[in-house]
Amino acid sequence: MRKKDNIERHSAAELTAMRKQGRSQTDWVKAEAMTQAQLEKSIAADPDEAGMTVDWANASLEVPAPKVVLNMRVDRDVLDFFRKTGRGYQTRINAVLRAFVTAQEHRSR
């Protein structure tokens, strides 16, 4: 997929503030007045949606395995490094460990 160079990112709070200031580029009145057929026609005409169809009849729910609680000793500087990255640092530690496991499994094949 081609990278778009006109993407702007905003937090939920920023978007709420923009809507309150009338800075939304969406015509919500027009959108709410559209029939289902008009909405589907509009989506079909959108080049970003071209060829995208989802067959929900064959969709399945993939529930991730629950995490295991682990008490582990690590070097202080390693823990400090991850904590400095902010909220979700334990998830990032898990991602690093997962990458190592995947690399080792790939290497042993």
How far apart CA 1 and CA 24 sit, in angstroms, is 27
pLDDT tens, residue by residue, 79-106: 999 999 999 999 999 999 999 999 999 8
The region, left, alpha or beta by phi > 0 then psi within -120 to 50, assigned to residue 51 is left
Q: What is the pTM of this model?
A: 0.45
For residue 3, what pLDDT is reported?
61
Residues in the chain: 109
- DSSP 8-class letter at 56: G
Task: Identify residue 105 by its one-letter amino acid code.
Answer: E
Task: State which residues of the chain have pLDDT below 70.
Answer: 1-4
How far apart CA 65 and CA 94 sit, in angstroms, is 14
Going from N- to C-terminal start, the domains of the chain cover: 12-50, 76-108
For residue 71, what pLDDT is reported?
94
For residue 62, what pLDDT is reported?
86
For residue 57, what pLDDT is reported?
86
Closest CA to 25 of 37, 8, 2, 41: 8
Q: Residue 47 in contact with residue 57, Cβ under 8 Å?
A: no
For residue 95, what pLDDT is reported?
94
| Structure token pair of residue 74 | 């690590």
